[in-house]
Amino acid sequence: MAKMSYNRKANLQRIALLTPGVLLFGIFNFLPLVALLGLSLVDWPGVGSADFVGLENFRKLALEPYYRDQFVNALVQNIWMFVLIIGSMLLLGSLLALLLSFGTNGRGAYRAIYFLPYPLAGAAVAFLLDLMVQPRGAINTFFVKTLGWWDAPIGFLGDTDLALPTLAMFYAWHRMSFAIVLILSAIVGVRVILLEAAMLDGASRWRMLKAVVFPVLAPAFVLITVIVMVDVFNNADYTLLLMGPEAGPLRSTDVLGTFLFRTSFGGSATSVNVNFGMAAAIGLVTAILILPAALFLALKNLRKD
C-alpha cells in the first residue's frame, strides 16, 4: 500500500482530535438536552416501560391541581427569591463598587476580602451561614444575649415568611463580589472620560456620577441580572441542602429546581409519585422561561468576537 498522503493523514487526525470532545459533550450534555423534548411526551417512573401520553404532562402542569399548585407556588417563590437576590446585589454591589472606585484607603484589601466568599462551595456557604442564623447561632446569641435587643431568638429558617428571604441573603452573600467586580470594571473603564468631562465643566461629583457613570452601569446591570436569573431559576442547591427536596417549612422555600428534583426522584425514599416524563416537561418549561435571557447572553458573547 502506498504511503498515506499528508492530507489524508491530516484529515484522520482532525477526526481523532475532534472525537473525544464531541463524544463527551454529545453523550452527557447535548443528547440529554435534546432528549428533553421526547421524554416530556411520555409517562415513565424511570424504570419499566414508558407510555406515550402526548402533551398530557404539560396539560397536567397547567390544569391538574396537584401539579399546577406546586408549579405555581415554586414559580412565584422562585421569582420572589430572584427579585430579593438581584435587588440586594445591584444596590449593595453598586454602592460598594462606587465607594471602591474613589481614592479610598485600603481599596486592594477590601477587594480581596469581598472576593473571599466567591470561590467557596455552595454547600459550605449554606451550612456556614445556617450555623450563623440558627436559634443558638452567633447572630441570635449576639442580639439576644450580648445586646439584649431581641427578647427571644429568631428561627430564620424555621419561619415560613423568613426562610426564603434568608436563603436569598445567603445567595447574595456568596455572589456579591460577582456584582462588585463587574460594576467596578465598568466604572474603571469610564475613568478617563469622566476625568476629562469633570475637568472641562467643573461639575459637582454627584452630577458627574449621574451624567457619566450611571449610564455605563446599565450594561453591567443587565449582564449581572441575566446571569443571576439563569442561575437562580435552575440551581436550587441552597434549598436542597438546607431544606431538603420537600422545601420546608411547608414548601415555603420551594423553587423550580426543587420541584423538578422532587418530580424526578421524590421527596423522600418512600415516594411513589415520580415521573421522568413530567420532570422533563418541567425542565423544558423552565428552559423556555429562561431562554430569552440566556439567548441574550449568548448573542452578546458571540458579538464580542
Partner 1 sequence: MHKIFSLSRKEQLAVQFILIAWACVVLIPLGVAVINSFKPNLGEVYRAPLALPSEWTWSNYAEAWVGANFGGYFLNSAIVSLSVVVIVCFCASTTAFVLVRMPFRGSALLFACFMIGVIIPIRLALAPLFTIVKGLGLLDTLTGLILVQSASMMPVAVFILTAFLKSVPSELEDAARMDGALPFQIYWRVVLPLIRPALATVALLSFVQAWNEYFLPLIFLQSSELYPLTLGIAEFRAQFSVQWHLMFAGILIMLAPTVIAFLLASRQFIEGLTQGGVKE
Partner 2 sequence: MSSLDIKHLNKSYGSVQVLHDINLEIPENAFVVFVGPSGCGKSTLLRSIAGLEEIDSGEIILEGRDVAKEAPVDRDFAMVFQSYALYPQMTVRDNIGFALSVAGRPKAEIHRKVDEVAQMLRLTEYLDRKPADLSGGQRQRVAIGRAILRSPKAFLFDEPLSNLDAELRVDMRLQIAELRRQMSATFIYVTHDQVEAMTLADQIVVLRAGRIEQVGSPMELYHHPANSFVASFIGSPKMNLLSVADLGLAGESAATLGVRPEHLSIGADGALEGTIAAIENLGPVSYAYVDVRGARVTVQLPPAHGFALEEAVKIGWADDALHRFDAEGRRI
Closer CB to partner 2, 8 or 145, in the complex: 8
Q: Could you tell me where the DSSP H helices lie in 102-121?
A: 107-115
- Choose from partner 2, partner 1, none: what does 94 bind? Cβ within 5-8 Å by kind: none
Strand 51-52 vs strand 42-43: parallel, antiparallel, or unpaired?
Answer: antiparallel
Q: Which stretch binds partner 2 (CB under 8 A): 1-9, 61-69, 141-149, 296-304?
A: 1-9
Name the residue with cell 451550612. Answer: 127
Closer CB to partner 2, 9 or 205, in the complex: 9
- Choose from partner 1, partner 2, none: what does 305 bind? Cβ within 5-8 Å by kind: partner 1
Write out the three cell numbers for 274: 415520580
Binding footprint of partner 2, residue count (CB under 8 A): 4
- Choose from partner 1, partner 2, none: what does 198 bind? Cβ within 5-8 Å by kind: partner 1
Q: Which stretch binds partner 2 (CB under 8 A): 6-14, 176-184, 200-208, 281-289?
A: 6-14
- Choose from partner 1, partner 2, none: what does 7 bind? Cβ within 5-8 Å by kind: partner 2
Name the residue with cell 428534583. Answer: 261
Can you list the positions of beta strands (E) in 134-274? none
Closer CB to partner 2, 10 or 188, in the complex: 10
To the nearest 10 degrees (0 to 180), the angle between helices 65-101 and 256-265 is 140
Map residue 51 onto helix, strand or coil: strand
Interface residue with partner 2, options 10, 24, 113, 138 (CB under 8 A): 10
Residues 6+ apart with CB under 8 A from 280: 35, 36, 39, 40, 57
Asked if residues 234 and 283 have their Cβ atoms less than 8 Å apart, the reply is no
6 part of the interface to partner 2, by CB under 8 A: yes
Residue 149, CA distances (Å) to 133, 141, 143, 239 in order: 16, 11, 6, 29
5 part of the interface to partner 2, by CB under 8 A: yes
Closer CB to partner 2, 7 or 204, in the complex: 7
Residue 270, CA distances (Å) to 243, 261, 262, 274 in order: 18, 15, 12, 10
Closer CB to partner 1, 74 or 280, in the complex: 280
DSSP character at residue 42: E
206 part of the interface to partner 2, by CB under 8 A: no
270 part of the interface to partner 2, by CB under 8 A: no
Name the minimum Å distance from CB 264 to partner 1: 5
Closer CB to partner 1, 250 or 296, in the complex: 296
Q: Which residues bind partner 2 (CB under 8 A)?
A: 5-7, 10
